[in-house]
Amino acid sequence: MMSTIGGAIWRQPMMIIAAKELKDSLRNRWVAVIFGLFFLLAFSVTFAGSAVSGTLAFPSLVSVIASLSTIAVAIIPLAAILLCYDAFVGEEESGTMLLLLSYPLTKMDIFLGKLLAHSGIMLAAIVSSFTLSATILLCFGQGYQWQQTLWVFGQFIASSGLLALTFILLSYVVSLRATEKAKAVGTLLSLWFALVLIYDLLLLALLVADLGHRVQWLVQLLMALNPTDIYRAINQLATHAPMGSLPLLSQFQGGALWLYGLMLLWVALLAWLTLRTFMRKAI
């Protein structure tokens, strides 16, 4: 009975599409590149994170998370973009989207199949690399509390997963609206540059200019509009160590739950936008 149900699930169009996407990504070596990047990030920060302070020891938990999130906030969106930019426009360019739609499946099947494969790849890379990082600290480091380490890394992995999902969906929206692959990747890299690098610089300029803290609410609002800022805020809250150039990040009213809610809102909004664009798109 169970094997029949299992077999039936694997025969669902969504699962068939997901399996094909996974195979395609494996052959394109995107999976290898993403896993390689994430493991390199985890190893280098865990083993050599304190080298900048002149010592060669395992860094403190706060430092590890701060370093990991500082780099991951750039790497995760970039990996998601490179994995997904051609998800829809690529199929359109090659003519396979038209063919797929002539088959007995729905646009929802195509969307869910792709999402399952792409989010699966990103989540597997995030969970495996950062779990390894936590394991190394707990097994070989000194002074790390199990409970606190697991909690902080758990939050880091959960927020990283949500950030990946956000950029996968953002890539889908752009891929659906683009007329060719080159335009999709160009637009997405511009968005990545703006959201990850430029946005915070502009906010910092606003904060520095606002000596009387009169527009603090505005800064918080603008931060809530950028998923990468929410991601940073979640991880600073998890370590109870606001740091870096924007301490306001961790001062959101309502704490972590509120921030997770905002991230989920981004995911839901982008999923809705993807589906709406896909459903309305003329074939």
Partner 1 sequence: MSVNNLAVQLEGVGHQFAELRALNQINLSLPRGMTMALLGHNGAGKSTLIKVILGLLTPDSGRVDVLGQRLTSGKKPSNVGYLPENIHFYDKLTGAEILRYFAALKGESHQRVAQLIEEFGLGYAQHKLVKGYSKGMKQRLGFAQAILASPQLLLLDEPTVGLDPQASSFLYQKVAQLKRQGCAVIICTHELNLVESQLDVAMMLGRGQCLAYGTFAELAKASPLQVKIALDGLAALLVTHPYLQAFYRQGALHCAQSEQPALVRYLTTKCQRFDFTLHLPGLAEIYHHNMAQMQHCSEQGLGFVTEPVLQPMGV
Which residues form the interface with partner 1 (CB under 8 A)? 11, 13, 16-17, 20, 23-24, 27-28, 93-96, 98-105, 282-283
Comparison of 91 and 229: residue with beta carbon closer to partner 1: 91
Cβ at position 34, least distance to partner 1 in Å: 16
d(CA 264, CA 166): 9
Comparison of 14 and 152: residue with beta carbon closer to partner 1: 14
DSSP code for 248: G
Cβ at position 175, least distance to partner 1 in Å: 16
Comparison of 198 and 279: residue with beta carbon closer to partner 1: 279
Cβ at position 46, least distance to partner 1 in Å: 33
Comparison of 11 and 240: residue with beta carbon closer to partner 1: 11
DSSP code for 240: T
Comparison of 31 and 76: residue with beta carbon closer to partner 1: 31
Structural element, H or E, at residue 260 = helix 255-280
Comparison of 24 and 180: residue with beta carbon closer to partner 1: 24
Cβ at position 10, least distance to partner 1 in Å: 9
C-beta atoms surrounding 107 within 10 Å = 15
Distances (CA, A) of 124 to 43, 108, 151, 160: 16, 23, 19, 11
Cβ at position 2, least distance to partner 1 in Å: 21
Cβ at position 279, least distance to partner 1 in Å: 10
d(CA 283, CA 274): 15
Locate 226 and state its tokens.
């950028």
DSSP code for 50: T
The greatest distance separating any two alpha carbons of the chain, rounded to the nearest whole angstrom, comes to 68
d(CA 146, CA 215): 40
Cβ at position 178, least distance to partner 1 in Å: 17
Cβ at position 277, least distance to partner 1 in Å: 17
DSSP code for 88: T
Distances (CA, A) of 19 to 13, 15, 109, 112: 10, 6, 13, 12
Comparison of 98 and 194: residue with beta carbon closer to partner 1: 98
C-beta atoms surrounding 160 within 10 Å = 27
Distance of CA 102 to the CA centre of its chain: 33
Locate 95 and state its tokens.
């003519």
**Distant-in-sequence, close-in-space partners of 92: CB < 8 Å, separation ≥ 6:** 98
Comparison of 10 and 272: residue with beta carbon closer to partner 1: 10
d(CA 6, CA 36): 32
